[in-house]
Every structure is written in structure tokens, then in C-alpha cells.
Amino acid sequence: MLGTVITITPDDALIIRMDADEDNATCDSCSFKGHCSLPARKTLTLVRPGQWEVGQRVEVDISPRLIVLLSASMYLLPVILMIVCAGMMAGKGDILAVAGACAGLVAGIAVNVALNRFLPFEKIIQIKRC
């Protein structure tokens, strides 16, 4: 998404006004579409030391490496925990194996919810000059 630096505070915090993306071309091509709060924001405040200027056009993006890591966490972690927990309980009977699988699945989803809540938004976002 594109934005414009509107203010730079003394502690190197940039306040960026986000431009409306009418055709949503940027968001439509992103694999995190629907899970990101970036398009809903009108302004964004990030601490980024460097040579920034008021009025400068910037591109606000999420690191591709981080998108892959978060996607892997979101889809693989619940499945892996489900299989591990089911395997741990398999020797104790079928009912407990199913209960273990359900517990592992819920634990994996809970870890992803916690990551979503506690992962600092400003660490995910990267800014590039246009």
C-alpha cells in the first residue's frame, strides 16, 4: 500500500497517511488478504530512524519472509500439534486419541490467536521509499 509521511516526531516516529487503494490491487495479490488490518487504517505510526522527509511517498508492506513464517504457523502448527497429541494418547484408547487430537488442534489455534494479539504490528511492517 502507498502512503505519505505527514509528520516526523523528535523520537523518529513517522506518521504516515495511508492512501485509499480503490482497486485493491495490492491487497488482492497478498496471501494475508482478509487477515490484515493494514487496509482499514487511515494513518500509521511507526518508529523508523533514517532520512525521511515530510511529504515523501512510501510503500508500506509486510515482509515476504514473515508472511511465509506466519502462514506456516497458521496452517501447520495446529495440524502438527493435533498429530503429536493424538500420537501421545493413542496407546490409551481410541477415545483418548481423538480427545488428544482435539486438544492439540485447539492448542495450535490458541497459539496462533496469541501470536496475532501479542506480535507487535510495527515489527511486521516494512517501509520503502517510492
Q: What integer best gives the mean pLDDT of the chain?
A: 82
Q: Note if the pTM is more than 0.75.
A: no
Lowest-pLDDT choice from 12-21, 66-75, 88-97, 118-127? 118-127
Q: Over 70: is that where the pLDDT of 36 sits?
A: no
pLDDT in tens, 9-25: 888 888 888 876 655 56
Per-residue pLDDT band for 107 (boundaries 50, 70, 90) equals: very high
Does residue 79 sit in helix, strand or coil?
Answer: helix
Residues 107 and 81 sit within 8 Å (Cβ to Cβ)? yes
Retrieve residue 121's grid coordinates. Answer: 504490528
